[in-house]
Amino acid sequence: MNSPSNQLFDSYFTAPAMRAVFCDRGRVQGMLDFEAALARAEANVGLVPRDAVASIVAACNAELYDYAALAQAITSAGNSAIPLVKALGKRVAAQSSEAERYVHLGATSQDAMDSGLVLQLRAAVELLERDLAALGQALAVQAERYADTPLAGRTWLQQATPVTLGMKLAGVLGAVTRHRQRLAELKPRLFCLQFGGASGSLAALGEQAWPVVEALAGELQLNLPDQPWHTQRDRLVEFASLLGLIAGSLGKLGRDLSLLMQTEAGEVFEPSAPGKGGSSTMPHKRNPVSAAVLIGAATRAPGLVSTMFAAMPQEHERSLGLWHAEWETLPELCCLVSGALQQALLVVPGLEVDAARMRENLDLTQGLVLAEAVSIALAQRIGRDAAHHLVEQCCRQAVKEGAHLRAVLGANLEVTAQLSAAELDRLLDPAHYLGQARRWVDRALAEHQQISR
């Protein structure tokens, strides 16, 4: 029997815990949590009889509702809160007709939907923080482990001067640390109550409006905004932008890993596992299946972020269509990023590194990638222009003859008059031309440790 939902790719692109936050039950429970908190808050200020609260709160359980019926009703109602509040009212009325009068008192459908969404986002952010912290720690361990392991730096996809694998991983670690900082900074702005009633003025609650607002924010443990934000969506768009940044950084990790796994490089690999990365027709293949998720998420995320930006200029006090465009977009972003984080957490701790192949690849150009080191050393003795011209001639000769640059330099009397054999050996050793690579690793580790305290 065919599944009514689209589940084939979900486990590949989405973390199950994040999908649970944004499944139908999660959406419905978020709105019902708002309705239960509203009843309690209004009872606290004397607007709702206390004996009415129990019936309302008891009915605010997502397991009690028919999602298929709600979905059908949404096609006519235009949003999910309208049919849910009706269903909630009927369920409350079955227990107490008196209590039913106080369901959703003074609120509008968008209050329930937006505040419910914020409650979902709070759960989502907890998952993101947990996974980013775990990924940062895994990157820190690997950056330290390979801090002095040379590999070819690559610019414009061509070999450049040497770097270290630790330095490359420290770059990703630095990005993860900054994303953790950004997430901590935006939480006070994101976790804000939405409660404005029909047009944002809460006129329906009269003089009791502000006490209810304060009590409701307390019940939900949400911050009080300067005013309702029905059509001021910057909080959500800021969060969407951060999700796009996280996806992009993970995509960078996936892109580099997939390139290092190429047959022609063969330097770093995803951890192997039975059945992982195989081909349907080529037994020898070892495909970067986790990197594919990282790159895929980074490719899809910008379009979703742009939808959130496009939905910002919403009309007057309540929007038509632009608000609707957010409903699936932001949850999908959360799910995409969660899936990418899960794949990164599978890969980074178990990276398989071939340091010997890295050294072999560094010698593919037969010393040419270290021509800069020789040129700089010579420049201190014969001047920059003369040194550059001399080393350039030696490089051309090495290419023409298919010889190693060390041999050509060692046979050149102008060079050997300035540099000894020991000096040439050192200059053409990648391990001695790593610059500040170790410092960059140490700095990234220090930043990680600081935010992890």
Residue 227 CB neighbour total at 10 angstroms? 10
The pLDDT value recorded for residue 283 is: 44
Half-sphere exposure of 193 (CA within 13 A, CB side): 27
The pLDDT value recorded for residue 417 is: 95
**Helix or strand or coil: residue 109?**
helix
Q: What's the pLDDT tens digit per position in 206-264?
A: 999 999 999 999 999 999 999 999 999 999 999 999 999 999 999 999 999 999 999 99
pLDDT mean over 264-284: 70
The pLDDT value recorded for residue 287 is: 87
CATH code of the region 365-419: 1.10.40.30
The pLDDT value recorded for residue 286 is: 76
Residue 202 CB neighbour total at 10 angstroms? 21
The residues of the chain that CATH labels 1.10.275.10 are 12-106+204-218
Q: What's the pLDDT tens digit per position in 101-151?
A: 999 999 999 999 999 999 999 999 999 999 999 999 999 999 999 999 999
For residue 177, pLDDT over 60 is answered with: yes
The pLDDT value recorded for residue 279 is: 46
The pLDDT value recorded for residue 5 is: 56
Q: What's the pLDDT tens digit per position in 298-346?
A: 999 999 999 999 999 999 999 999 999 999 999 999 999 999 999 999 9
Average pLDDT of the chain to the nearest whole number: 94
Mind giving me the DSSP string for 359-411?
HHHHTTTTTGGGHHHHHHHHHHHH-HHHHHHHHHHHHHHHHHHT--HHHHHHH
**pTM attached to this predicted model:** 0.94
**Helix or strand or coil: residue 98?**
helix
**Catalytic, out of 279, 306, 381, 384:** 279
In the chain, % helix, strand, coil (3-state, to 5) comes to 70, 5, 25
The pLDDT value recorded for residue 7 is: 77
For residue 79, pLDDT over 70 is answered with: yes
The residues of the chain that CATH labels 1.20.200.10 are 108-192+229-353
The pLDDT value recorded for residue 285 is: 53
Q: How far is CA 371 from the centre of its chain?
A: 39
User: Quick one: what percent of the chain has pLDDT higher than 70?
Assistant: 96
The pLDDT value recorded for residue 276 is: 55
Residue with tokens 């005013």: 227
For residue 278, pLDDT over 60 is answered with: no
CATH code of the region 108-192+229-353: 1.20.200.10
The verdict on whether 11 is a catalytic residue reads: no
The pLDDT value recorded for residue 282 is: 45
The pLDDT value recorded for residue 3 is: 42
pLDDT mean over 167-171: 98
**Catalytic, out of 101, 318, 357, 426:** 318
CA dist 447 and 225 (Å) reads 32
The residues of the chain that CATH labels 1.10.40.30 are 365-419
**Range from 181-195, 204-218, 228-242, 283-297 carrying the lowest mean pLDDT:** 283-297
For residue 381, pLDDT over 50 is answered with: yes
Give residue 395's pLDDT band: very low, low, confident or very high (50, 70, 90): very high
Q: Domain 12-106+204-218 in CATH: superfamily?
A: Fumarase/aspartase (N-terminal domain) (1.10.275.10)
The pLDDT value recorded for residue 10 is: 85
Give residue 22's pLDDT band: very low, low, confident or very high (50, 70, 90): very high
The verdict on whether 318 is a catalytic residue reads: yes
The pLDDT value recorded for residue 119 is: 98
pLDDT mean over 386-400: 96
Residue 279 CB neighbour total at 10 angstroms? 10
